[in-house]
Amino acid sequence: MLGAIIGDIVGSRFEWNNIKTKDFEFLTHDCFATDDSIMSLAIAHAVLASEGNFDNLGELAVSSMQGIGRFYPGCGYGGRFYNWMFSDNPQPYNSYGNGAAMRVSACGFAADTLEEAMLLSKKVTEVTHNHPEGLKGAEATVVAIYMARTGSTILEIRDYINKHYYPMNFTLDGIRDTYEFNETCQDTVPQAIMAFLESTDFEDAIRNAISIGGDSDTLAAITGGIAEAYYGVPDDMRKNALDYLDERLMKILIEFENKYHPQLE
């Protein structure tokens, strides 16, 4: 859960100022929590509110994303999602934007089975991103987190994603020079997963994601959720990252981690 938030915060200063290298200062005073962190915590809030009965998780996701998001209206939401967030009658809008995948990490940490991980992903995603590619991107992210959390190896995760979601037949070095800003799931999620697959530890995974450029905060948020599930988050990095969250957001994170224990390095 915190891994996605750290990825978002570290990537925040590079979204419109891409850096095509892994050599950069990690958490600085220029970093901030964007809509990726806000919505990740909103989904965590919805999962908590369900109290383990996920039948109405979709409705809770709508309530949490609108209720929490409205406290942070200037955090970088896309135009259609912003309108949805303030709508009195919010309806899905057939999106396949990468916002579907950046917010779902809580589902991967809360699920008890792979099938439940897929179900939770669908319930919290289809309320906005009901396009097949949006649903696919979110599910691939949640599945990778669940597998990483429950003992699968990097090779096993790679093979499963390659078989069921996206071809993993590229390298970060091979795409770095030509990869450009893209807000679709299909051109963000595979790259974010590869950033994890090529990593050696949590920080390295985040650096990988940011080093290819593109939608840096969202890429790193997706990568960060998976990397936390596999490696855990270093304690000093965890403490530094918490400084970027206000009391409202911190409370959600702590409550979620108390129920669904975080991965510690």
Contacts of 143 (CB under 8 A, 6+ apart): 108, 114, 117, 118, 121, 160, 161, 164, 165
Q: Which residues are registered as beta bridge partners of 233?
A: 264
Query: Residue range 55-77: average pLDDT?
Result: 98
pLDDT at 263: 65
> Does the residue 208 lie in any domain?
yes
Query: Residue range 96-125: average pLDDT?
Result: 98
Query: Residue range 53-74: average pLDDT?
Result: 98
Between 262 and 222, whose confidence is greater?
Answer: 222
27 in Cβ contact with 9 (< 8 Å): yes
Query: Residue range 190-196: average pLDDT?
Result: 99
> Does the residue 47 lie in any domain?
yes
DSSP 186: G
Taking the C-alpha atoms of residue 40 and residue 69, their distance in angstroms, rounded to an integer, is: 10
pLDDT at 118: 99
Taking the C-alpha atoms of residue 16 and residue 237, their distance in angstroms, rounded to an integer, is: 24
Determine if residue 13 is left, alpha or beta; phi over 0 gives left, psi from -120 to 50 gives alpha, anything else beta: alpha
Between 151 and 261, whose confidence is greater?
Answer: 151
> Does the residue 159 lie in any domain?
yes
pLDDT at 149: 97
> Does the residue 246 lie in any domain?
yes
Percent of the chain scoring above 70 in pLDDT: 98
> Does the residue 265 lie in any domain?
no
CA distances from 68 to 41, 42, 72, 97, 264 (A): 9, 6, 7, 20, 27
pLDDT at 37: 99
Contacts of 104 (CB under 8 A, 6+ apart): 40, 43, 120, 121, 124, 125, 138, 141, 142, 225
The CATH number that applies at residue 85 is: 1.10.4080.10
Query: Residue range 10-19: average pLDDT?
Result: 95
Number of separate domains in the chain: 1
Instruction: Assess whether pLDDT exceeds 90 at residue 264.
Output: no
pLDDT at 125: 99
Taking the C-alpha atoms of residue 128 and residue 187, their distance in angstroms, rounded to an integer, is: 19
Nearest Cα neighbor of 224 from 1, 2, 4 is 4
pLDDT at 261: 82
CA distances from 71 to 19, 34, 35, 41, 85 (A): 31, 13, 11, 13, 11
Nearest Cα neighbor of 179 from 210, 222, 218, 136 is 210
Q: Give the three-class secondary structure for 46.
A: helix
pLDDT at 247: 98
> Does the residue 177 lie in any domain?
yes
Query: Residue range 221-240: average pLDDT?
Result: 97
pLDDT at 124: 99
> Does the residue 24 lie in any domain?
no
Query: Residue range 132-151: average pLDDT?
Result: 98
- Domain span at residue 116? 2-15+31-259
